[in-house]
Structure formats: structure tokens, C-alpha cells
Amino acid sequence: EKTPGITALFCAWLHKALTANVPLNHHDKSRIAWDTLAGFLILHDVIMIPIQLAWDLDPDVPVVASMLAFWILDMLLSFNTSIHHNGEMLTTRFAVCTRYLAGRFWFDLVLICLDLLILFQPDDVKQVSILRGMRGIRGFRILRATRLAQAQEAIEEFFMENGAEQVLLLIAVSQTLGSVFLIAHFLSCGWYFLGQNQDGVSWLVRLEGED
């Protein structure tokens, strides 16, 4: 008998998660794996978006399209995942949907629309105001980093329930080192962006003159 591939297993899990009568437990291993993947995708955006803005680089269309598909699926899963609210676990589909619609839904929807604008922007845009507007739209996508807190909370609760204190310590250390790196990354990209867009003689022009 042929063993199902990864794609088939993923599609089967996704179908089960989206069509189950009871919302998926947010501590389910498959959901934790999904949140972990979401965290890595957010880190990709947090690192790459400042670089793209500073160096005025166009985003990679296949990457944007793939991440757009992921975040659309993530929105659908959010309608089908139990959540904590005021110390209570919401496990009914109506309660989960109501809470999501009253919370992150509209924020997630706006970011999806921004992804669509970036994905389908015309290639022959020449007006400076439109170009700056599209650059600003790309910058707003970094707000998806707020999703990291939700993913981190679910992951930490999962390992805490399973008595994996060493993993929690590793997460805490990684978070501290990652925060230092990201602050340095933002400052570096911001400083280069200012040098690129400053009127007159910027530090980049002086640096090129010294060379």
C-alpha cells in the first residue's frame, strides 16, 4: 500500500480541522506546528521588509503569493480553533467565531488586502506618489508581527503542560537574543533608508566620496 505524501496528509488534516463539528484544540500538536510555522513566516517578513524598504527592492512574487495563501488558511483556522477568553476556554463554534470577529479578524483581513495589493500591483507604475504609497503598504505588513505573541503564548502553554521547562528556557533565551538582533536590524535598515532618501549630501554620499 502506498504511503500518503506530505501534501496529502496536510490536505487531510486541513479538511478535518475546517470541517470538524468541534473547533480544533489550540494545544493540539498539529495546531502548535501551524503556529510555529506562522512564527517563522512572520520572522521572514520582519527581517525582509525593512531590507526591501531600505534598498527599494521589489518583493518576491512567489513568496508573497505563498504567504498570502498561508494567511488566508490561517484566518479560516482561526474560526475553527478554541481560544481562552476571560479565563474560560471557548469551545463552541459560535463563541469562537464571535470572539474572532470581535478581535483580530478585521486586522487580519486588512493585512490580507495589503498582500493582494502588492501581489497585483501594475508593473508599469511610474508616478512617484504611487510608488511611495506601495512602499508604505509593504511597510504596514510588518504589523503582522503582533501575531507572534499569540503563537508564542500557545507554544509556551503547550510545553508547560508537557513539563518541558528546558524548552521554555530555550524559547526565553532565543527571544532575548532575537529582540537584540531585530532592534539592530531595524536601526541599520532605517539609517540606510534615511541616507538613501535624504535631500542634499547624506552620509551615503560622503561615504562614496571617501571611496
pLDDT for 83-108, tens place per residue? Answer: 877 777 778 888 888 999 998 999 99
Distances (CA, A) of 135 to 57, 60, 71, 98, 195: 10, 14, 21, 34, 17
As a three-state string, the secondary structure of 26-51 is CCCHHHHHHHHHHHHHHHHHHHHHHH
pLDDT score for 124: 59
pLDDT score for 205: 67
Instruction: Judge whether residue 28 has pLDDT over 80.
Output: yes
pLDDT score for 211: 53
For residue 186, give the C-alpha cell: 531595524
For residue 171, give the C-alpha cell: 524559547
pLDDT score for 133: 62
Report the alpha-carbon distance of residue 91 to residue 98 in Å, rounded. 12
